[in-house]
Chains A and B, each alone.
Chain A
Amino acid sequence: MTETRLARIALPAGFGLAVLVLWELAVAAFDIPPAILPAPSDIADAFARSTDILWIDFRQTVLKGALSGLVIGAAAGVLAAILIDMSGFLRRGLLPVANFVAALPIVGVAPIMVMWFGFDWQSKAAVVVVMVFFPMLVNTLAGLGAADRMQRDLMRTYSASHFQTLAKLRLPAAMPFIFNGLKISATLALIGAIVAEYFGSPTRGMGFRISTEVGRLGIDMVWAEIAVAAMSGTALYGLVALVERGVTFWHPSQRRG
């Protein structure tokens, strides 16, 4: 048990480290100019030099744009699913449409949202809301149908009302699906927030910084921003997975031992 747990951490960590070392060696060995590919040590240097700028960009893009959009979009998606679920007619009509829309390249609404809500973080959050809404809606609707007939019948024998059944049986049973949607949304949120910055942004934000630094050949700074984006994305996903483990501890996929 402990051996596999050690391997679970050591192997991927070792692989990542090996890639970094190879990268560093390759840059040195082939004399690759820093304007094309800076060495990891240079990137770390740039990172340490400009933590204040990186923090400003992080706050603008991740905290204000992506996170607020994710929260609003996810809440709206779940709420809409609960409302739609009350009517069988609406569910049959909206589910195929929502499924279809969820597969479309919704990032395309980014220029329209920038036109409507201006350059600041509100338009970024709006893009994220639209991107996140449909996966959340579809997953929640699927989840609300997950409780089986026997369990629902049991609730009826208790003479539970619609909302009691919802709160005590169907929403808890839907949680694995909702978290599945949240995991998809967490990765979409960052993409949406950064894409929207390419259509106009104030003079801060990760997408803005990346595009201006590419223009000035400040490639080490671009990689530092990529590192921040990578860490925020992984942290956001990890946070969702952690909460999921706490909320859906009863689900077979979360049981251990």
Chain B
Amino acid sequence: MMRNLLPVLTVVLAILAIWYLAAFAMNRAWVMDQAARAGETPGLAQQIAATMNQDRARLPAPHQVAAELYDGIFGKKITSKRSLVYHGFITLQATMWGFALGIVFGVALAVLIVLSRVADLMLMPWAIISQTIPVVALAPMIVVLTNAMGAGSLMVPKAIIAAYLSFFPVLVSMVKGLTSPDAMQLDLLRTYGATRGQVFRKLRLPASMPYFFASLKIAVAASLVGAIVGELPTGAIAGLGARMLIGSQFGEPMIMWAALFAAAILAALLIFAVGALERLLNRAMGAQPA
């Protein structure tokens, strides 16, 4: 961990430096254009100053994005329509519903596939195919169908889209985990005269837990992508995805950048939380530290 600190810090600083240089290069054209119209020739120092705080910069400088983020998160009341906390919470809700739905669906499907050879042959190819179909294409239809079935809010279709992306990592890991006990362990339970149900409860299920937890981090990240993507074609007006759409339509780059980084922060928080939960539960269940 400490060994990597210096290299990681160097890389992060290098990225920031490149970002500043790129901001200068990309915003300079506008500055020069403005100056030419005013009949001035700005010096380098003036150019740099003018490229670093434009309201509609092609590439806002890092400190501008940070300021916008800070203002969006702490500067507004969380009930305000301009608060990133408000929009983040809407997206988080859809993410969590989709995450829960994805876990239930993924685990159920994995159990079915492990218990029945026919289900394995029949469903597994379709599970893979489902992930090669771009969900964004399906999203508007999911909205139409859930509306027809009487879902009043956009939360239901968004959660379904999030679940569509998040069930797959859970399914794959659970199938791997449930089939991870080797022949020796299975034989031992047979000598105890264990039934199929007992083998499942006392051997397969506990053995699958590390695999299950490992899949959750991927699933929660996928679920967030699903929730954001689900806000784009569904006409949502609240949520981080909707914020990006609004920023794009009104030509407000700062809104897009703030929403993008808010989504990144949300993803980092979710992955961190799930990781902490994983360590806690693994320890509670007496797993060997890896």
By a beta-carbon cutoff of 8 Å, the part of chain A in contact with chain B is 7-8, 11-12, 14-16, 36-37, 89-90, 92-94, 96-97, 100, 103-105, 107-112, 114-116, 186-187, 190-191, 194-195, 198-200, 206-207, 210-211, 214, 219, 222-223, 225-226, 229-230, 233-234, 236-237
Q: Is the CB of A191 within 8 A of B229?
A: yes
* A-B residue pairs in contact (CB < 8 Å), sample of 16: A12-B121, A90-B11, A93-B10, A96-B8, A97-B15, A103-B267, A103-B271, A104-B268, A105-B263, A105-B267, A107-B225, A111-B247, A115-B256, A199-B232, A199-B245, A210-B140
B137 neighbours in A (Cβ, 8 Å): 194, 206-207, 210, 225-226, 229-230
Q: Is the CB of A114 within 8 A of B125?
A: no
Closest chain-A Cβ to B55's Cβ sits at a distance in Å of 14
Which applies to chain A's interface (DSSP): helix, strand, loop or mixed?
helix
Q: Is the CB of A108 within 8 A of B133?
A: no
Q: Is the CB of A105 within 8 A of B245?
A: no
- Cα separation A200 to B271 with both chains bound (whole Å): 31
Q: Which 6 A-B pairs have the closest CB atoms?
A: A93-B7, A111-B248, A93-B11, A233-B132, A108-B260, A229-B137
Number of B interface residues in the complex (CB < 8 A): 59
In residues 138-159 of chain B, which contact A (Cβ within 8 Å)?
138, 140-141, 144-145, 148
Identity of the chain A residue whose Cβ is nearest the Cβ of B141 in the assembled complex: A222
B96 at the interface (CB under 8 A from A): no
Q: Is the CB of B118 within 8 A of A11?
A: yes
Q: Is the CB of A11 within 8 A of B144?
A: no
- Cα separation A16 to B256 with both chains bound (whole Å): 41
Closest chain-A Cβ to B186's Cβ sits at a distance in Å of 22
With beta carbons under 8 angstroms apart, the residue of B8, B58, B232, B251 that contacts A97 is B8
Closest chain-B Cβ to A128's Cβ sits at a distance in Å of 12
Closest chain-B Cβ to A255's Cβ sits at a distance in Å of 19
- Cα separation A134 to B12 with both chains bound (whole Å): 16
Identity of the chain A residue whose Cβ is nearest the Cβ of B125 in the assembled complex: A12
